[in-house]
Amino acid sequence: MKSKPPLRTGISRILYAFLYSFHGYKSTFINEAAFRQELCIFVILLPVIIFIPVSIMFKAILFFANMNILIVELLNSAIETIVDMASPEYHILAKRAKDIGSAAVNASFILAIVMWGTAVYSVITMISRL
């Protein structure tokens, strides 16, 4: 086991925080298929957000809803990792923690689906008025 890294202060702490975040993204991308799939969907929908004929505020909401999925998946992956470390054997509380994390990801998907449904409805309504 490696020793704990030294405490950093000032700008050094901020720079290392970015480095640790990059390691988190990389680790999640390598080890979590769900994150890779959700990132792929995010990348596909990003140009759609840019070009969909809705207000800039609606575009921001769609971006937030899509980004929220990635954020919640990162947190869920962290929960699953620590649960697997703490409880490698099956335990009902470990299952509960993982299920709750999964429910959070599901809720973020529901939010995104509702927002995208509203955007599509808005575009269809706008087109039908022409």
Whether 73 is catalytic is yes
Containing domain of residue 92, as a range? 32-128
Is 109 among the domain residues? yes
Placement of tokens 């609606």 in the chain:
58
> For residue 81, is it within any domain?
yes
pLDDT in tens, 33-63: 999 999 999 999 999 999 999 999 999 999 9
10 located within any domain: no
Could you tell me if residue 72 is inside a domain?
Answer: yes
Q: For residue 1, what pLDDT band results from cuts at 50, 70 and 90?
A: low
Q: How far apart are CA 54 and CA 23, in angstroms?
A: 36
Predicted model pTM: 0.88
Mean pLDDT, rounded, of the chain: 95
Name the catalytic one among 32, 38, 73, 80: 73
**Res 8: pLDDT:** 85
What CATH number does residue 49 fall under? 1.10.287.3610
Q: pLDDT tens, 18-28?
A: 999 999 999 99
Whether 85 maps to a domain, the answer reads yes
Structure tokens at 113: 């689906």
Domain count, the chain: 1
